[in-house]
């Protein structure tokens, strides 16, 4: 029997998830098929129902359905409940288990692939949307010394900080409020890089040896990473590693096997550079 998995989104044709999971299945000898499925903006629930009826075992969920997947889940992991969004579904009988592997993927890429420990580090998280919400708890679990959430709208950042205040003290404000502070890790969770937009970051926010990390990825440096390099960031990384690692986390949830990611990540990066 070949088990069926898929990624749902709108748009979805650009997704690298089928390639990634096919590679994971091949290297771990798993009998599974993984495909990309386009769901109508108002048809996600029906698309999932049809998929389960066809024998689907699990699914990844991307824009714009992560919040809807959260509501559709009958049981949530703690990290999904914290994030308020789901990017991974597992189907068992009538149960829909919802998980969020984004934060785990980010932390693993930073700590394992990039070799940057988060314990004791001052972290600046740019953006207060869903991408930020999904990674805050894993970042705090890494025992960082401080976390600051910066957003164009200060109120949105402050509300997000309050939602996680039970875990650790979290500061928040607009981008200007970061002036006079410096950070060891600066993570861009905004969508600015998708539109080629630069963020209004004050100079001096990158501490000596700082890592600049953009959740977005593509050919060449993003505007955020260009700015970070100009402002003295010692290391710059895009979100390709996060993409692969969050997929590996989902694969482990479904199959009970954790794939090795290094060779695939190198192959994907070569493809982007080509």
Q: Which residues are annotated as a binding site for NADP(+)?
A: 78, 127-131, 151-156, 215, 239
Q: Which of 107, 98, 169 is nearest to 138 (CA)?
A: 107
Residue 121 known to be catalytic: no
**Residue of 45, 57, 66, 219 with catalytic role:** 66
Tell me the binding residues for shikimate. 15-17, 62, 87, 102, 217, 246
DSSP of the chain = --EEEEEEESS-TT--HHHHHHHHHHHHT--EEEEEEE--TT-HHHHHHHHHHTTEEEEEE-TT-HHHHHHH-SEE-HHHHHHT--SEEEEETTEEEEE--HHHHHHHIIIIIS----TT-EEEEE--SHHHHHHHHHHHHTT-SEEEEE-SSHHHHHHHHHHTTTTS-EEEE-GGGGTT--EEEEEE-SSGGGGTPPP-PPTT-EEEEEEEEES---SS--HHHHHHHHTT-SEEE-THHHHHHHHHHHHHHHHS-----HHHHHHHHHHHH-
Active site members: 66
């Amino acid at each position: 029997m070949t088990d069926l998995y898929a990624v749902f989104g709108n748009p979805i044709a650009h997704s690298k998830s089928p390639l990634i999971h096919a590679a994971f299945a091949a290297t771990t000898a798993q009998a599974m098929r993984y495909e990309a499925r386009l769901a109508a903006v108002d048809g996600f629930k029906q698309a999932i129902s049809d998929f389960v009826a066809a024998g689907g075992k699990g699914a990844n969920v991307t824009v714009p359905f992560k919040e809807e997947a959260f509501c559709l889940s009958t049981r949530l992991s703690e990290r999904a409940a914290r994030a308020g969004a789901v990017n991974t579904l597992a189907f068992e009988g009538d149960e829909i288990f919802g998980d969020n592997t984004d934060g785990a993927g980010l932390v693993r890429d930073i700590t394992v692939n990039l070799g940057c420990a988060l314990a004791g580090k001052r972290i600046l998280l740019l953006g207060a949307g869903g991408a930020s919400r999904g990674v805050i708890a894993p970042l705090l679990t890494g025992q960082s010394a401080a976390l600051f959430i910066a957003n164009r709208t200060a109120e949105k950042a402050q509300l997000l900080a309050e939602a996680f205040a039970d875990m650790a003290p979290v500061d928040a404000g607009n981008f200007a409020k970061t002036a006079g502070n410096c950070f060891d890790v600066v993570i861009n969770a905004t969508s600015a890089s998708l539109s080629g937009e630069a963020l209004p970051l004050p100079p001096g926010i990158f501490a000596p040896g700082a890592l600049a990390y953009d959740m977005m990825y593509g050919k060449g440096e993003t505007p955020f990473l260009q700015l970070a390099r100009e402002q003295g960031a010692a290391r710059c990384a895009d979100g390709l590693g996060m993409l692969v690692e969050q997929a590996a986390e989902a694969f482990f949830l479904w199959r009970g096997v954790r794939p090795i990611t290094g060779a695939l990540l190198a192959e994907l990066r070569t493809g982007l550079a080509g």
